[in-house]
Homo-oligomer: A and B are copies of this chain.
């Protein structure tokens, strides 16, 4: 941030009086502008033992496979956001989403929240951010063509939990070059 979104004057990086870290403060109206982590919401859509996956039509990781997910929007719940992404990327209606997996990703200021859900009527399509989409059997998952390590971890856990039929809410931290 270089300019105040409220008044357009230049901002400075300063530690406010009652704070202990630098913030963007407007040189003119003195508003303090905070920047906070963002939430990524997504689904593991499952239908008759198969998982709905998307081949990315956008960078990064163009052409690799992922699960429907994206930035949570204002005004929606995490479940609504996860269902919205499932519709946008795979044209599938997420059935009964249940919170399943949370990842902290502090080096990029993100928190991921994944839901498991059904696929209404088993119907799906291809959204503008996908090259193709597919209901994949566990044995057909392209483990060497996954877009992100988090997708691999998520799928492995989900398949393990599917075998036991017990899906506890799982939570862990993904950190690169940290601790």
Which residues of A approach B to under 8 Å, CB–CB? Answer: 1-11, 18, 21, 24, 33-39, 71-80, 99, 102, 104, 106-107, 109, 111, 113, 128, 168-169, 171, 173
How many chain copies does the complex carry?
2
Residues of B within 8 A of A107 (CB): 75
Given known contacts A1-B5, A75-B106, what 14 new A-B pairs fall within 8 Å (CB)? A3-B3, A3-B4, A3-B7, A5-B11, A5-B24, A8-B8, A8-B10, A18-B128, A77-B173, A78-B104, A78-B111, A79-B173, A111-B113, A168-B169
**Chain B residues whose C-beta falls within 8 Å of the C-beta of A10 in the assembled complex:** 8
Establish whether residues B1 and A36, one from each chain, have CB atoms under 8 Å apart when the complex forms: no
Rounded to whole angstroms, the CA-CA distance of A63 and B11 in the bound complex is 34
Docked complex Cα distance between A39 and B45 (Å): 25
> Interface of chain A, helix or strand or loop or mixed?
loop
18 CB contacts below 8 A, A to B, read: A1-B6, A2-B7, A3-B4, A5-B24, A5-B33, A21-B73, A35-B74, A36-B38, A36-B71, A75-B107, A77-B106, A77-B173, A78-B104, A78-B111, A99-B169, A99-B171, A168-B168, A169-B171
Residue of A2, A6, A33, A74 with most chain B CB atoms under a 10 A cut-off: A74
Separation in Å of the A139 CB from the closest CB of chain B?
30
CA distance A106 to B21 in the complex (A): 28
Question: Is there an interface contact between A106 and B3, defined as CB atoms closer than 8 Å?
Answer: no
A9 to B4, CA, bound (A): 10
Closest approach, in angstroms, between the C-beta of A174 and any C-beta of chain B?
Answer: 10
* The residue from B18, B39, B104 contacting A79, defined by CB atoms under 8 A apart: B104
A77 touching B104 by the CB < 8 A rule?
A: yes
